[in-house]
Structure formats: C-alpha cells, structure tokens
C-alpha cells in the first residue's frame, strides 16, 4: 500500500509501505540430489530489471530468479534482488538508503495461455530518507517505487525460452517506471536441496567454528525443487553475538524428559534465509531478524559449487560473512524439576 504525506510546501511525498512477513513454519524433507525435473514439471530462470524516477525516487532494481511450473500451471520460485538509489532533485537533493539493499523474495504465479503471469513478494525494510540536510527512517516497501507499476508487481512474459517483455509507464505524480523481464528454460533442476543436506552442512559449519549445537535447531520449508527456506532460533549472548537455541519442540521435549530445568533461554531473533541451486552451484542467503519488531538486523551470503560439497561451502561462507558472531548453545543450569 502507499501513504501520502504533506511536506509543508504544497507537494506530496509518496511512500510505499508493506507488511512484515511472519517466520516460516517447519516443513518436510524434500529429498536428495536428482538430475531430472519431476514428472510434468519445468524449470526456468530469468532476470528482471527496472528503474523508477520522479518525486523522491531515483531507484534501480536488478533481480535474478528461478522457478518451477507444475503440470497444473502453478509457478513457485525465488528471486534475489538488489536495489540501488541515486540522488534525486525534489526541491533539494534527496537520497534514500535501504537496510538491507539486497535480499530474497518469493515468486509465484501461473501459466496462462502460454504466458507466465508472475507475482513478486513485497517485503518491507527500514529506509532512511535524507532531504534538504535532514534525515528520518521509516519502514517502506523494498522495491519502491516499482510496485506503483502493475507490470512490475505482476510481470508477464511468454512461456518460451529466451522470451522477453518490457514496460514503460508514468504513474502519479509523474513517476516514470521502466523495466524488462527475460526468461530461459533449463533442461533440469539438477541437485535438489533437502533438509538432510542442509542439516549436515550447518552441523559441519558450526563444528568447524567450534560452536556447540542443540539436538534439534533447524527448521526448513521447501519453496521450489531447487530452493528452500530455513530458520534457526537464536538468543542474545552475554559476550555479544547470538547464542544458538533449540527448536521450541526440542526444548519442551527435553524439559518433559527431565534433561533440562525450566525455564530455558528462548530465541528472540531468527537466523534465517534461503538456499538456491542454480546452474551447478549453491547460493546461501542469510540474515538475522528481530522477532519483536520484524526488523532485518544483519545480512550475508555465501556461494559454493556443485553437489556433494557445494552446499557445505556455501553455508560456511555465509556464516563467515555475517558481521556478528553466532555462539554455542548454552542451556540454563539448575536443578531439574521432578516429573
């Protein structure tokens, strides 16, 4: 949605707002490496590029995406998007800084009459406006101002390898938005990320950094054949950084078995992200969210090669690139209550 705010000089500032997405739910294991798509399933990759200028905006987006389309025509996938901002003259020089300026979004949609009709997720991030020497930070739509153009929110492109489509629209008040989309069909989705593969990769990465882990700490959710989301609960450590925390089910189970006293530390943040396998390599995107506010606090990413070790390398790289430490699981000590 958008909100219109008066700036006091008779001109309107348009700011796009969005909702914070809830944490993911625990999903099921997707399986192991496979070099062929599922029956009736097609795999596609592509890019979206767009620029919006006018009012306070002078922003550019570059997005790489991949998705699968099933025999029923349903499209499911992910995109990795990066937004950049340039100074814009709006009464005086105006700039906008997002935190972060690069993240993953879901791609959904359908195949209709040999045309893909897609829908892009619209996350919200803190954005700092600096105008006429004054700054303020508010939550805004990550892609602003592009969602003002329906051709960006719901891009369409023929379901043909190498197909393209473009748009060029002007929306009030005189915001010019241009963009293009291109898609390519790939012969196979190849290595399919699974919960088991990701669990092993995180176990090895934490062990390599000397980090003790709880029994169960990883939750996953499949998003497409070659991608999945994950989340790990973390709490604040006394020495800084974030301590690993078991899943809530694991904590309850251990308390009920008499293995742990009550209460135990609870996660107030999430270490979460997504895993992609595209064109023979893994990409792991990682971030830390504050559960109370929904704010994205830190982000990182890591790349690895093909199966079987590429996912291990990507997870270890993403953890190493986080600008904050992840610490060992530290259960609360004390007498265990009798059951």
**pLDDT, tens digit only, all 339 positions of the chain:** 444 333 333 334 445 544 333 333 333 333 333 334 455 678 888 899 999 999 999 999 999 888 889 989 999 988 888 999 999 998 899 999 999 998 889 999 999 999 999 999 999 999 999 998 899 999 999 999 999 999 999 999 999 999 999 999 999 778 999 999 999 887 655 566 778 789 989 999 999 999 999 888 999 988 776 789 999 989 876 557 898 988 877 767 777 777 667 766 666 789 999 999 887 789 999 999 988 888 999 999 999 876 657 888 999 999 999 999 999 987 767 665 544
CB 279 within 8 A of CB 184: no
Using alpha carbons, select from 207, 197, 277 the residue that is nearest to residue 244.
207
In this structure, the answer to whether residues 180 and 213 fall within a common structural domain is no
How far CA 301 is from CA of 3, 82, 238, 270, 283, in Å, comes to 33, 13, 26, 16, 7
**Nearest Cα to Cα of residue 20 among 288, 218, 296, 300:** 296
Whether 11 and 93 share a structural domain: yes
Tell me whether residue 92 is exposed, middle or buried, using C-beta atoms within 10 angstroms of its C-beta: 0 to 12, 13 to 18, 19 or more. Answer: exposed
Are 83 and 151 in a shared domain? yes
Say if CB 283 and CB 275 are below 8 A apart: yes
Domain endpoint, select from 168, 186, 204: 186
Residues 137 and 268 in one domain: no
| Under 8 Å between Cβ of 106 and 123 | no
Q: How many domains does the chain have?
A: 2
Measured distance CA(98)–CA(3) in Å, rounded: 18
Domain that holds residue 246: 195-327
Looking at the chain, the number of H-run helices and the number of E-run strands are 4, 21
Are 122 and 16 found together in one domain?
yes
Of 144, 160, 186, the one marking the end of a domain is 186
The answer to whether residue 321 is domain-embedded is: yes
Within 13 Å of residue 231, how many CA atoms lie on the same side as its CB?
A: 19
Residue at a domain's end among 186, 216, 231 = 186
In-domain check, residue 30: no
CB 145, CB 55: distance < 8 Å = yes
Tokens of 209: 């950094």
The two three-digit tokens of residue 294, written as one number: 């929904």
* pTM as predicted: 0.52
* Same domain as 176, residue 104: yes
Residue 77 CB neighbours (<10 A): 25
Instruction: Please enumerate in sequence order all residues whose Cβ is within 8 A of that of 112, keeping only pairs 6 or more positions apart, or say none.
Output: 73
Same domain, 246 and 172: no
- For residue 29, tell me if it sits in a domain: no
């Amino acid at each position: 949605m958008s909100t219109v705010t008066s700036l006091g000089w008779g001109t309107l500032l348009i700011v796009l707002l969005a909702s914070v997405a809830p944490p993911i739910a625990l999903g099921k294991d997707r399986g192991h490496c496979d070099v062929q798509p599922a029956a009736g399933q097609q795999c596609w990759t592509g890019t979206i590029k767009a620029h919006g200028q006018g009012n306070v905006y002078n922003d550019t987006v570059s997005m790489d995406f991949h998705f699968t389309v099933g025999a029923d025509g349903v499209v499911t996938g992910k995109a990795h998007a990066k937004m950049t901002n340039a100074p814009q003259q709006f009464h005086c020089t105006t700039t906008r800084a997002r935190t972060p300026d690069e993240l993953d979004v879901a791609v959904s949609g359908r195949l209709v009459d040999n045309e893909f009709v897609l829908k892009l997720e619209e996350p919200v991030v803190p954005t700092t406006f600096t105008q006429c020497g004054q700054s303020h930070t508010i939550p805004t739509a990550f892609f602003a101002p592009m969602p003002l153009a329906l051709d960006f929110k719901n891009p369409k492109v023929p379901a043909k390898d190498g197909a393209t489509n473009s748009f060029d629209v002007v929306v009030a008040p005189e915001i010019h938005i241009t963009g293009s989309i291109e898609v390519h069909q790939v012969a196979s989705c190849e290595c399919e990320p699974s919960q088991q593969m990701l669990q092993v990769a995180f176990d090895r990465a934490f062990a390599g950094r000397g980090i003790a882990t709880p029994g169960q700490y990883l939750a996953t959710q499949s998003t497409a054949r070659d991608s999945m989301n994950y989340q790990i609960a973390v709490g604040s450590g006394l020495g800084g950084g974030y301590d690993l925390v078991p899943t809530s089910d694991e904590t309850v189970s251990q308390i009920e078995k008499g293995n742990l006293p009550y209460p135990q530390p609870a996660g107030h943040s999430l270490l979460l992200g997504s895993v992609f396998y595209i064109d023979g390599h893994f990409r792991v995107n990682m971030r830390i969210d504050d559960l109370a506010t929904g704010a994205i606090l830190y982000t990182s990413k890591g790349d690895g090669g093909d199966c079987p070790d590429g996912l291990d390398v990507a997870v270890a790289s993403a953890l190493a690139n986080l600008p904050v430490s992840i610490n060992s699981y530290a259960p609360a000590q004390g007498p265990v209550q009798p059951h």
